[in-house]
Structure 1
Amino acid sequence: MSNLANKPSVISIRRAYEDPSENDGYRVLVDRLWPRGRSKESLKLDQWARELAPTDELRKWFGHEPQHWEVFQQRYRSELAETEKLQQMQLLLADAAGRSITLVYGAKDEQHNQAVVLRDVMSKLLLK
């Protein structure tokens, strides 16, 4: 696997409907669907990692309902624990080449969304 010697020091999240910041570093859209009403230019993405988004089945089941949050996190973490997903996350970390990473998502709820979970999982990968 890729050498992660140039690991990013920070993984943050930002809504797709917020303006990009010069401090965002490597910007990655982590939704399976493109954010409605946003152009490619306005998002200023370095990558679209739709394969790291929750499966359609899990995404639809969750429906961004806070009462599903705990179970959603468990199920999504299980998806991310698959070998292929771990390799994709490691590749994303390597692609950032030491820059900070901003995971971009479209959900309205800033506390209950897949980017929150993905940030946590990827941050733990940095510690290994």
Structure 2
Amino acid sequence: ILIDRVWPRGMTKEKAKLDEWNKDIAPSTALRKWFNHEEERFAVFKKKYSKELAGQSATIQRLKKIAAKENLCLLYGAKNEQYNQAVVLKEILMAG
């Protein structure tokens, strides 16, 4: 599941072969632009994005059900594997 609001540069939709592109679960445009993948902003980004995700409870529950049955791969376009929205979303999906 691609969890970016914008399509990743250099990747065609044909090559991606993904099951779903969920723009709604992605960080808001304002939050994404503010964060700008700057590591020192990640702690605040995590809090703000978690608040945004709180408004997506139906989608979160649906993704938890998928993850309980099969592997769930969260796709993102960020270069940094440690500081991105997938890290935050994964943590929320794995919580109780």
Over 3 Å counting, the alpha-carbon distance change for 1:115 and 1:40 in structure 2 is same
Q: Deviations over 1:58-113 (max 9, x none)?
A: 0000000011011000100111112xx01112123445681110000000111110
Identify which of structures 1 and 2 has the higher relative contact order when contacts are C-alpha pairs closer than 8 Å and 6+ apart: 1
Higher helix content, 1 or 2: 2
Q: Partners in 1 of 2:54 and 2:13 — Cα distance? A: 30
Q: Partners in 1 of 2:38 and 2:68 — Cα distance? A: 35
Higher strand content, 1 or 2: 1
Number of residue pairs matched by the alignment: 96
Q: Where does the alignment leave 5 or more consecutive residues of structure 2 unmatched?
A: none
Q: 3-state DSSP class of the match of 2:69?
A: coil
Q: Partners in 2 of 1:96 and 1:76 — Cα distance? A: 20
With structure 1 as the length reference, what TM-score do the two structures score? 0.70
With structure 2 as the length reference, what TM-score do the two structures score? 0.91
Aligned position for 2:79: 108
Q: Partners in 1 of 2:36 and 2:19 — Cα distance? A: 27
Cα RMSD for the two superposed structures: 1.5
1:78 maps to amino acid: K
Bigger radius of gyration:
1
